[in-house]
Structure 1
Amino acid sequence: MTYLVGKVALDVVAGAPNNGLGEDNVARVKQLRVGRAVHPYVSAQAFRRWVRDSLPPGEPVSLVTRAGTGQKQQAYTAGRPDQYVDDDLFGYMVAVKGDKTKTCQRDTVFATGTLISVAPRTPQKDFGTMSRGFAAGENPVIHEHEFYSAELAADVLLDLPRIGVFEVDGAGLKVALPAPAAEEVQAAGAERLTFRGCSALRLDIAERRRRAALLLRTLTAVRGGAKQALHYGDRTPGLVLLAPVKGGVNPFTRVLGVRNERTRFDGEVLRAEMAAWADELDGPVLLGWAPGFLGDQRDQVKADLADLVEAGSLVIDHPRVLLGDLAARIERGERDGWFEDPKE
């Protein structure tokens, strides 16, 4: 049983990738305060939408049903993780009143935190007008919006053994597949097993490998975000740290900190956590770091941690190269042990 845990960081330059509730004719970015410090952020919901929308064009995604009116509206996906990789990886809740053949729920397999600015950054206002086509002497329409530059970071976790494994019994809404769907999935060849105390159905290992590799490659090609007409910018991660950990604890939440009001990667924190959790690590720690992100810190960290790299316990490369290589290894079956839970 292995989880991939770690950190994802984005480099936002003069952007407004996720907006909150506007007020006084000003479109405001999402932000929170810690004391007097302001930290812009991108919600986990928004980032997950970006990842979902960045799946390859040929990959079918779950259809959304919208029902009800007014304040009693609801929207839900198909709830078929056997057919749709996004239902499998991101989870869902289908609650159809009075219809137990459709009611089901799946907790997320790919868990993501809020992408919050590591160092405090106060958003700035951009003042704009619309006057195109107006007659001479007419007043323009005025509008304002916020934007900022910051390094945003969030924790991530991928529960590898749960990819392609769907609970078919349990309490309340824990059932991932209601009876009619479960019968269909089993008839199609899914394996029945006991998984973490529940009866479950599991897809074949080739499809489970494919889905894990698909997500890893998609993480290196994320696109999306608001205000792209005015503040287009790269949304692929500038840094991705992933470590295979047996127990699912994420020891690497503090590798990014602040020094002199700037975001800093702390190599000594990474070294100390790797030493403390050495018995739980199930392979080398992977540090994907795009050149230029955080200035010259990448070269300094590579020099400071050269002994770990030489020992094979740490690999540092471009995020796309590193995650692409891991995806290929998974597809070749070299990491099949990561998909297995201990026998109950």
Structure 2
Amino acid sequence: MSIYLTGKAVLDIQAGAPNNGRGTADQGNVTPVKQHRTGGKTYPYGSAQWWRRMLRDSLPETETPSPVLVNGKDAKQQAYTSGRPDRYTDDDLFGYMAATKTGTHMRDTVLSTGTFVSIAPERPTRDFGTMNRGLPTGANPILHEHEFYTAALQGDLRLDLARVGFFEQDGGVRKAALSDEAVQEALQAGCTETTRRGTSGLLLPLPERRRRVAVLLRTIAAMHGGASQAAHYGDRTPALILLAPIQGGNQPFTRILAPVEGEIRFFTDTLREEIDAWSDLIDGTVYLGWAPGFLGDQRETARADLDDLIKSDRLVIDHPRVVLENLATAIETGQHDAWYQD
């Protein structure tokens, strides 16, 4: 059974507006943040598309982005990447649909992402501002408003390791990932033909598949971007990230964080029970990156409560950047090659 790196990431947003919503005419000159209501309470959120865009934009300069092609105009305008996952890491990891005159080719995402929703209910604040610079004497200032909030946003993640660097062509997909011409070019560049999960396709050499996963993990550790950086610049790297190599890709860690009497709590008992319940499908260590200072002293309490799991190498707790860097290095040097098997 295939291995997936499955878990969640938490972003600690301090007085930020990282993902704006769509304003309406009745709101006037106000830029809202994305938010939804459930149970009569308001929860700010960031869309999966927003987080993926930040991640994609944070890829290192050494990774050439797939060129974006635009054709048509007005309502019929289309934009898509070149659709060459054999050449570009972002096309491989994030997927695409490229519809051209010669045919349509597509690739489902290898990295699945949930919506990043505030763990606790939080009502956004409306900030008031004016534009009066350079206006003539006696003119009224131009008024504008926008929303921001302080909240911890959590979202689920899943990386399908067996599909990194494997481009489906026939047998289990609606559209082939590559054109016939691209297939020949990919084969000449070192790809091989194989079958995975009943679908035939092309496979990149193992060293390149290792490298791409390592690049992704290191990029998560150094994420930046989002909306409103001029007025609300802040940390966009995960304050907490949990990843586990799990057969089948289930997500057992949804309920390890929850609000209690207005404060976010990390439930070590829940994490322990989930690790025990899924121990037959967890392939090795569970990785927990936790930034110091996030959730007060709960990090050290969790370390003490889970000390037996740490000593038995079933769990690692460290800074998110350290955890992601160490995991990236282990993958890049071939220590987890079994995870890439179909």
Q: Contact conserved, 1:168 with 1:179, CA < 8 A, in 2?
A: no
RMSD value over aligned CA atoms?
1.1
Mapped partners of 1:172, 1:59: distance in 2? 27
Matched, 1:36 2:40: yes
Instruction: Name the structure 1 match of 2:56.
Output: 52
Matched with 2:139 is 138
Aligned to 2:156: 155
Q: Secondary structure at the match of 1:76?
A: strand
How do 1:298-317 and structure 2 match up within 5 A? 298-317=299-318
Amino acid at match of 2:91: D
Tell whether the 8 Å contact from 1:61 to 1:85 is kept in structure 2 after alignment.
yes
Range that drifts further, 171-180 or 267-276: 171-180
TM-score (norm 2): 0.97
Aligned position for 1:25? 29
Measured after TM superposition, the shift of residue 168 of structure 1 is 1.5
Match of residue 65 from structure 2: 61
Alignment-mate amino acid for residue 81 of structure 1: P
Q: Secondary structure at the match of 2:170?
A: coil
Cα deviation, residue 35, structure 1? 2.4
1:99 matched to 2:102: yes
Matched residue type, 1:62: S
Decide whether the 8 Å contact of 1:223 with 1:234 is kept in 2: yes
Alpha-carbon distance in 2 for matches of 1:58, 1:48: 19
CA–CA separation in structure 2 for the residues paired with 1:158 and 1:165: 13
List aligned pairs for 1:1-344, cutoff 5 A.
Answer: 1-23=2-24, 24-96=28-100, 98-100=101-103, 103-170=104-171, 173-341=174-342
Q: How far, CA to CA, are the matches of 1:197 and 1:163 in structure 2?
A: 16
Distance 1:32 1:48, change over 3 A: same
Instruction: Find the residue that maps to 1:174 and give its secondary structure.
Output: coil
Deviations 1:292-338 (A, max 9, x none): 11111111111111111111101000011111011111111110000
TM-score (norm 1): 0.96
Q: Which amino acid aligns with 1:99?
A: T
From the superposition, tell whether residues 183 and 198 of structure 1 become closer, same or farther in structure 2 (CA, over 3 Å): same
Q: CA deviation at 1:172?
A: 6.3
Is the contact made by 2:172 and 2:198 (CA closer than 8 Å) also made in structure 1?
A: no
Native 8 Å contact 1:15 1:232 kept in 2: yes
C-alpha distance in 2, partners of 1:228/1:94?
A: 31
CA distance, structure 2, for counterparts of residue 216 and residue 28 of structure 1 = 31
Distance (Å, rounded) in 1 between the aligned partners of 2:323 and 2:222: 13
Stretches of structure 1 that go unaligned for 5 or more consecutive residues are none
Q: Distance in 2 between matches of 1:221 and 1:87?
A: 20
Letter in 1 for 2:120: A
Distance 2:84 2:71 in 1: 18
1:263 is matched by which residue type in structure 2? I
Structure 2: which 5+ residue stretches go unaligned? Answer: none
**The residue matched to 1:50 in structure 2 has which SS?**
helix
Code of the aligned partner of 1:139: N
Amino acid at match of 2:79: A
How far did residue 148 of structure 1 move? 0.2
- Report how far residue 187 of structure 1 moved: 2.0
C-alpha distance in 2 between matches for 1:261 and 1:221: 30
Q: 1:67-100 CA deviation, whole Å, 9 max, x = no partner?
A: 222212211100000000000000001122x522
| Partner deviation per Cα, 1:264-288 (whole Å, 9 max, x = no partner) | 2111111110010000000110000
Instruction: Provide the C-alpha distance between the structure 2 equivalents of 1:164 and 1:328, rounded to a whole number of angstroms.
Output: 18
**One-letter code of the match for 1:63?**
P
